[in-house]
Amino acid sequence: MSYAKKSVVARARLLAPMVLLLGLAACSGKEDAAAPAGGDAKPASPAAVTAPAAAAPAVSSTVQAMGSEQLRESASRALGENRMYAPAGDNAIEYYLALRDKTPDDASVKSALTDLLPYTLIAAEQNLAREDFEEGQRLIALIEKVDPAAPALPRLKQGITRGVEVAARRTTEETDRVKKEAEAKTRQLAEQQRLAEQRAREAEAAQQIAAQQAAAQPAPAQANAEQEAERQAAARREAEQRQQQAAAQQAAAARQAAAPSLRPISTPAPRYPTEALRSNTSGEVLVELTVGTDGSVTNARVLRATPARTFDREALNAVKRWRFEPVSAPVTTRRTLAFTPGN
């Protein structure tokens, strides 16, 4: 099949999303026009916002270094394998952008980019929705290189800023909540320890009184006095055990309160297994992960999965790609990943 025929087939396959692109552009225009009239949204202070890392060039240097014919072949192969905008450095839109730089007058290249644009817009929206800001920023850079005047660009860029602010604010609120709970637990444990100490003192005093009474009793009552002393001794041992347990719980709560908080930078959602998607199977996986001082996940394991062994592998693959802000010491935490068809 000639390149011209391939281009016609590709354009026919890509034509359907153009309607969605028009809808996105219309929504973008309405939101942009309504934003100044609201007046309620206030941008967070710069210190409270964790922006995504500086974006790399929209087209990778490896792709830019390829020749025209190699770019055409790679772009056609990427289209055939449905790699329209991902992965980075090996997708159709990057190949066509590099080819457009080399052959700016090629109408077929411009047409292919126009056809690919709605798919990239949809993908950018989806990444912003699941708070994968790093991937979203990469796709926005591709959109801007294809068409710097694309109507949806301002809304997408504003969505990145707002999304980072919301994620940072949510993390701060979660940290504050955990801290308050730990402080309340510490106070509760301190009160329990005080009561345990008081019971121990009361038991010891009761034992001393019982011993004094036993010494003053006649010989026939000696057996009863010994039994009472044994009972008091057992009560004291029980009080001491409670005191030790309360001290251990208080120490654990203090360690939890002192643990550094995690601030996510990139938490891409897991891929939905094909078999589960076909059977419309939903579920969730509880994962325990350890975040190193550089913010990367150094260890992850599945604690619980429903149904068993259906989503485990994709959940672990996703968690191992998560990134957080650097912390002063490794942190072990738990996260639940939900799998719902259609989301």
Residue 30's identity, in one-letter code, is: K
Separation between Cα atoms, residue 198 and residue 193, nearest integer Å? 9
Q: Where are the alpha helices (DSSP H) in 259-332?
A: 274-278, 312-319
Instruction: Judge whether residue 211 has pLDDT over 80.
Output: yes
- The answer to whether residue 65 scores a pLDDT higher than 90 is yes
The CA distances from residue 168 to 90, 213, 258, 325, in Å, are: 32, 67, 20, 11
pLDDT for 19 beyond 80: no
Q: What was the pLDDT predicted at 226?
A: 80
- Measuring CA to CA, which residue among 119, 122, 113, 123 is closest to residue 148? 113
> Contacts for 20-28 with beta carbons within 8 Å, 24 or more apart?
20/118, 20/122, 21/117, 21/118, 21/121, 24/118, 24/121, 24/122, 24/125, 24/151, 24/152, 25/150, 25/151, 25/152, 27/155, 28/151, 28/152, 28/154, 28/155
**Residue 115: predicted pLDDT:** 95
φ, ψ dihedrals at 295, nearest 5°: 90, -5
Query: Which of 10-19, 88-97, 254-263 bottoms out in mean pLDDT, i.e. has the lowest?
Result: 10-19
Q: Is 268 helix (H, G, I), strand (E, B) or coil?
A: coil
How high does pLDDT run on average in the chain? 82
Dist. CA 245–CA 184, nearest whole Å: 17
Report the predicted TM-score, pTM, of the whole model to 2 decimal places. 0.43
Through-space distance between the first and last CA atoms of the chain, rounded to whole angstroms: 37
Residue bearing the bigger pLDDT, 181 or 38: 181
pLDDT at position 54? 56
- Of these ranges, 9-18, 40-49, 123-132, the one predicted with the greatest mean pLDDT is 123-132
Complete DSSP assignment for 64-75: HTS-HHHHHHHH
Q: CB of 130 within 8 A of CB of 160? A: no
User: How far apart are alpha carbons 144 and 134 in whole angstroms?
Assistant: 16
Question: For 256-270, what is the mean pLDDT?
Answer: 81
Instruction: For residue 307, give both structure tokens.
Output: 């149904």
